[in-house]
Amino acid sequence: MRDSINNKIKNFNHDFAMACKDSKRNEEDISIIAVSKKHDVSLIKDAYQNGFNNFGENFVQELEKKAAALKDYEITWHFIGPIQSNKIKLVATHAHWVHSLDREKIILKLNNQCKTLNKNINVCIQVNIDNEVSKSGINPNKLLELSSLIETQSNLNLRGIMVLPKLSNEIEETKKVMEKCFALHANLKLSHPNADILSMGTTSDFKAAIESGSNMIRVGESIFGKRQ
């Protein structure tokens, strides 16, 4: 098992380096979140030994369990899943970043919890760039409004946007959507210069994302293998 994850990481590191080289991007300018959802703590330790320290989780109970088990590790936890209002306290307690904000009610509650815990967290707004009914995230035309709301919250640092472009077999289609995301983010930065993060790209499309200007990719399968 350990050999297999070390090999996967070796391959991923190679692909990542090539993607950066091909797009003339500096590797240091792109953060990698290792998405560890549905994988065991032991695999997270292996990835950590391989140099990863940003991990992404989608489910609150899993985040809680793993953060407790790995409390002696210097890990930055990113919550990237949908947030239910009754789980906000746990998210606020364990996450350093939340990528999936898309509702006013959740934003206000998260800020209140962070205040109670006396901590600040980094947040991104999830944008539903293709307006897919099945997906979370705001309509792009709501972005500035929600950003302004977050800026008024004492304990939330607005850091950017998170997008999950529609999967397509046509890489050119994907890139078109990603360029739209880049432009949307560039426009956001004009009025919110601290919102410097474009969280875009997963196993299936991180190369296109890097080419399109992403500076934070969220990769699960390429690092940890298939999820059950």
Ligand X SMILES: *Cc1c(COP(=O)(O)O)cnc(C)c1O
User: Which residues between 142 and 181 bind ligand X (CB under 6 A)?
Assistant: 164
Residue selected from 202, 212, 214, 215 as contacting ligand X according to rule CB under 6 A: 202
In the complex with ligand X, the residue whose CB is nearer, 155 or 198, is 198
By beta-carbon distance, which residue lies closest to ligand X? 220
Going from the C-alpha of 115 to that of each of 18, 100, 112, 155, the distances in angstroms are 42, 19, 5, 6
Alpha-carbon gap, residue 188 to 45, rounded angstroms: 36
Min separation Cβ 126 and ligand X, Å:
8
Q: Does 128 bind ligand X (CB under 6 A)?
A: no
Q: Which stretch binds ligand X (CB under 6 A): 105-113, 172-180, 183-191, 198-206?
A: 198-206
Sole binder of ligand X in the list 5, 19, 35, 127 (CB under 6 A)? 35
Cβ pair 159, 126 in contact under 8 A: no
Which amino acid belongs to residue 23? S
Residue whose token pair is 């793993």:
66
Contact with ligand X (CB under 6 A): which of 112, 120, 168, 203? 203
CA–CA dist 127, 142 (Å, integer): 9
* 169 Cβ neighbours under 8 A, 6+ residues apart: none
Instruction: Identify the residue among 13, 58, 93, 120 touching ligand X (CB under 6 A).
Output: 58
Residue recorded with tokens 């009610």: 105
Q: Report, in Å, the least distance between residue 38 CB and ligand X.
A: 9
The strand ranges marked E within 86-203 are 97-101, 121-127, 156-163, 197-199
Compare residues 140 and 155 and give the one whose CB is closer to ligand X.
140
Segment interacting with ligand X (CB under 6 A) among 104-112, 147-155, 165-173, 202-210: 202-210
220 near ligand X, judged by CB under 6 A: yes
Cross-strand bridge partners of residue 70:
none
Size of the site for ligand X (CB under 6 A): 12
Beta bridge partners of 207: none
155 or 207: whose CB is closer to ligand X? 207
Q: State which residue, 174 or 202, has the beta carbon closest to ligand X.
A: 202
Does 219 bind ligand X (CB under 6 A)? Our answer is yes
Choosing from 80, 95, 114, 210, the residue that interacts with ligand X (CB under 6 A) is 80
CA separation for the pair 99, 85 (Å, rounded):
15
- Tell me the backbone φ, ψ of residue 57, rounded to 5 degrees: -135, 145
> Coil, strand, or helix at residue 7?
helix
Q: Determine, following the binding rule CB under 6 A, whether residue 221 of this chain makes contact with ligand X.
A: yes
What does the binding site for ligand X look like in residue numbers (CB under 6 A)? 35, 37, 58, 80, 164, 202-204, 218-221
